[in-house]
Amino acid sequence: MSTDTASIAGHKEMKKIRRKKATATAPELYMNTLAESEREIIDTYFQRLAQYIDLPKSQHEDMERDFIKALQYYESTGVTIEEATDRMALHKLGGFYAHPPLRWYSLDSAAKIYPMSMGYRRMSMFRLAVYLKEQIVPELLQIALTFTIKRFPSFATTLKRGFFWHYLDSTKRRFVIEPESGHPCKPLIVHTSGSQSFRVQYYRNRISAEFFHVLTDARGGMVFLNTLTAEYLRLLGHEIPEANGVFDIGAAPSESETRDEFRRFKQRRKGSGFRQGRALQMSGRLSRNRPCQVLHFELELPALLNLARSKGTTITGLMVALMFLACKFATEENRGDIRIQVPVNMRKFYDSRTIRNFAMYCGISLKLSEITTLEEILPEIGRQLTERSAQEVMEEMAVSTMNIVRSVRFLPLFIKRPVAATLHGFLGENAFTNTFSNIGAVDLPPQMAEHITKFDFVLGSGTVNRAYCGMVSFADTAVLSVTKLTVNPSFEDKMYELLVGCGLSPKVSGSVLYED
């Protein structure tokens, strides 16, 4: 009898253990693999982690798994548990994942057009990428994003539709990194509950961040990427200070960082700057994949700078001039205007800390017949660049933007949206042949710079322009990125030929042609 009872009790105990094993959480399973002394540290660590996270159960568990993977990575590289938990100190989470999402942000005045003009498989995107000297460790990159996102509350948002305008609604979730796949700058899924308006990807030694333009412009995006990369490097054990465009993730985000700087432009006078005719488009059938190819022309910065100086112009002036020559070569039209859109960072005119959109643009235009040789067009391009990107002109354009926004503010969105989408087609893309956005040199703390080889900046594609160009320089490397919307290689072939002709010998890399 007693043997039977013991056997039943033993059986029950075994069942209990089995059930417990089956329902054991990821941290419990992980702890079973550790020594007794380490188990205690990890147990305390995960108990504290639970206090920092108030997310739905599945996301909570996913986040715990992220930390376990990072700990396992540290273990595999010989980093002690104490050191690992110290690098991933939980105070870096702050209260972000524990507080309910209550804030919302109105879109800045420049961003209001983007959700109205987007369509099925069409979205204004851009991408910034940093190339490190070593392969990316995804386990640590995920933790770096988990720690960094709280410093950028306007990025931790979901796009929503209001009655008059779209807006950004705060969201608290596990923001995820993903391996690169598919097209660069492919549209994000922003329509689901809690969806994010940016993505962080990795491939070999590259970390890239792609943004929907409603969140930020290239300058704000660069601050995010640099802060994320700095945190990633810290997790790898490097000492990286918070300086030169790297935010302190422990500091509280300030109101000035999420301010709509266009509000400073009052209705002082009549604005101007949007009235432009149609521009010529380069030839070539528009591809179904957008973009169908991304190319990077890697140039030596000192050589490029010397060339620009020798021609009495800037890097932007020189590149725009080369683009005019390449665009002329790539079009079959024989008359009309080629117009290149050049975004202008307004922060150079106004003291601003905003990480939201604060850029305007100017159009550099030449008649097809006036595009002859580099030497002949450079003075005119230089003149137009100086005149049209001057503070006064940019201010007038910003005033125009504000005037438009103010005049339609009480129109319901369902009326505004189709009108805005149509106007954007006429005033936006059709008015330009190409775009050249130069975000200049990236300045980083030396302790961080030593781990980085280069950056690149890719503009997402639109609907009509066959190419878009972005440029960024770091240390001794300048990278010109061409985003293509047609299989026709005329533009990039001519650009390459022109750059080689100038003695620059670019190294070309990029994606395969995505065309089916």
Residues engaged in binding another protein (CB under 8 A): 56, 101, 115, 118-121, 158-163, 166, 169, 171, 179-184, 190-194, 203-204, 206, 288-289, 294-296, 492-493, 496, 507-512, 514, 516
* Cα–Cα distance for residue pair 317/362, rounded to 1 Å: 13
- Cα–Cα distance measured from residue 221 to residue 224, given in angstroms and rounded to the nearest whole number: 5
To another protein, the closest distance from the beta carbon of 3 in angstroms equals: 51
Check if the beta carbon of residue 197 is closer than 8 Å to that of residue 211.
Answer: yes
Taking the least distance from each CB to another protein, the nearer of 28 and 300 is 300
Q: 103 — phi, psi (to 5°)? A: -80, 155
Rounded CA-CA distance 175/142 in Å is: 8
Inter-CA distances, 437 with 206, 278, 361, 362, Å: 21, 20, 9, 11
Tell me whether residue 227 or residue 289 sits nearer to another protein (CB atom).
289
Judge contact between 430 and 278, C-beta under 8 A.
yes
Phi-psi region for residue 500, left (φ > 0), alpha (ψ -120 to 50) or beta?
alpha
Smallest gap from residue 192 Cβ to another protein (A): 6
Smallest gap from Cβ 90 to another protein, in A, equals 23
Backbone angles phi, psi at 193, to 5 degrees: -65, 125
* CA nearest neighbour of 98 among 169, 168, 48, 152: 48
Q: Using an 8 Å Cβ cutoff, are 234 and 87 in contact?
A: yes
Residues 151, 89: Cα–Cα separation, whole Å = 16
Minimum Å distance from CB 492 to another protein? 7
Distances (CA, A) of 364 to 88, 312, 435: 49, 18, 10
Contact present, 347 and 283 (Cβ < 8 Å)? no
Phi, psi of 282 (to 5 degrees): -70, 155
Report the residue number, 21 or 161, with the smaller CB distance to another protein. Answer: 161
- In the chain, what are the helix, strand and coil shares in percent, each to the nearest 5? 45, 20, 35
Tell me whether residue 173 or residue 388 sits nearer to another protein (CB atom): 173
Query: Hey, which bits of 177-282 come out as E strands?
Result: 177-179, 198-203, 206-212
- What is the smallest separation between the CB atom of 410 and another protein, expressed in angstroms? 17
CB of 439 to another protein, least distance (A): 20
CB of 111 closer than 8 Å to CB of 176: no
Query: In the complex with another protein, which residue's Cβ is closer, 48 or 103?
Result: 103
To the nearest whole angstrom, how small is the minimum distance from the Cβ of residue 235 to another protein?
A: 24
| Torsion sign, CA atoms 184, 451, 234, 480 | negative
Nearer to another protein by C-beta: 183 or 199? 183
Report in angstroms how near the CB of residue 202 gets to another protein at its nearest: 11
Nearer to another protein, 92 or 183 (CB): 183
Minimum separation from the CB atom of position 61 to another protein (A)? 16
Q: How far is the CB of 120 from another protein (least distance, A)?
A: 7
Q: Which is nearer to another protein, 206 or 328 (CB)?
A: 206
CB of 511: closest distance to another protein in angstroms? 4
Residue whose C-alpha is closest to residue 365's, from 497, 275, 267? 275
Length of the chain: 516
Q: Which is nearer to another protein, 18 or 121 (CB)?
A: 121
Name the residue nearer to another protein (CB basis): 159 or 223. 159
Nearest to another protein of 195, 314 (CB atom): 195
Cβ atoms within 10 Å of 400's Cβ, excluding its own = 18
